[in-house]
Amino acid sequence: MAQSAIDLSGLPTIANPGRVAILKSKWYPELNDSLADTCAGVLREKGFDRVETHTLPGSLELPLAAADLLAADSDREIDAIVCFGVIVKGETLHFEMITNECMRGLGDVMREYRCPIIVEILPVLDISHAQARAADDEYNKGYEAAAAAIEMIAWRRALQA
């Protein structure tokens, strides 16, 4: 299936942007760094000057880290959390267990804390599929993650207006 690049030109402008936390797994650092750096770059270009990045032991730890950040955010300054990870299918059920629990956990945290959590965890059958999605080109999924975060922040703020 061919990838498509996202058009960032129509993204909404966010007045008084808050914090965005980027959480990434330490596994496959060259890929997760590329995704996170691309996302952070777009967010900064769009006016977010409080973008923080946290590196976790793996993808399974992302839900707990997201919950801990949101629990400590008593002033509700975090506008969104963006999660990056790469999980490669191996010979055991580890792939399925980690992928399913991570997604379930992040969904639970998002609903509990009422904060958008953008998930760009790449569960792939071959590492080349993740490499294609984290390449230094217009198909990097960091662009999509940043766009989704900005769109969700704008949408939620419009509801509160």
Residue 94: active-site member: yes
Mean pLDDT for 110-131 is 97
CB atoms within 10 A of CB 48: 21
Which among 57, 157, 67 is positioned nearest to 108, based on CA atoms?
67
CA distance 77 to 10: 25
Residue in 45, 52, 94, 112 annotated catalytic: 94
CATH superfamily membership of 19-160 = Lumazine/riboflavin synthase (3.40.50.960)
CA distance 100 to 98: 6
Give the chain's largest Cα–Cα span.
51
pLDDT value of residue 160? 87
Encoded tokens for 114:
């009422």
What is the total residue count of the chain? 161
Q: Are 35 and 95 spatial neighbours (Cβ–Cβ below 8 Å)?
A: no
69-75 own/partner pairs: CB under 8 Å, 24+ apart: 69/21, 69/23, 70/109, 70/113, 70/115, 71/113, 73/19
Q: CB under 8 Å to 107, separation ≥6 — which residues?
A: 117
Per-residue model confidence as pLDDT tens digits over 66-92: 999 999 999 999 999 999 999 999 998
CA distance 11 to 8: 6
pTM greater than 0.75 (yes/no):
yes
Per-residue model confidence as pLDDT tens digits over 52-63: 999 999 999 999
Which among 161, 142, 160, 149 is positioned nearest to 18, based on CA atoms?
149
